[in-house]
Every structure is written in C-alpha cells, then in structure tokens.
Amino acid sequence: MDAFLNEAHEAVGQGTLSADGIRDLFITLSRTHPQTARFVRNWAERAPDNANAQIARAWSIWHEAYQIE
C-alpha cells in the first residue's frame, strides 16, 4: 500500500496525477466496509509515523463520522 501511495504522491509532484486523483485513492480507503476500516485502523496503529497510514485513517474517521450525521 505504501509503495502504491508513494508512487501516487510522486505522480502528483510530476503533474501526471491531480490532487483530486490522489484524494480519490485515499477516499477509497475511507469506506466503512468492516474489512477496509479494520485494515486502515490496524495499519495506522502499527505505523504511527507513517503519513500515508495516518491520512488514510483520518479519511476513514471522517467518513464514519459523516455517516453518523
């Protein structure tokens, strides 16, 4: 997952992927399907210094909160 997201970050820097495109990748990880939410939560807990994991977790929490609203 990190390699994929790191490549996406590089693509944004090179102008071959838009900011919206990378946001969409993280939004995919924010879905409330139990397996996806568990994966992201575990990833973020195992890698507290990993920006990709923490961004994915933040999107996941935001999406969960939005569903409650």
Give the C-alpha separation, 46 to 4, whole Å: 18
The domain segmentation of the chain, as residue ranges, is 2-68
Provide the pLDDT confidence category of residue 28 given band limits of 50, 70 and 90.
confident
pLDDT, residue 26, reads 86
Q: What is the mean pLDDT of residues 21-35?
A: 85
pTM: 0.79
- Residue appearing with tokens 């390699």: 3
Q: What is the pLDDT of residue 47?
A: 97
For residue 29, what pLDDT band results from cuts at 50, 70 and 90?
confident
**Can you give the pLDDT at residue 31?**
79
- What is the residue-averaged pLDDT of the chain? 91
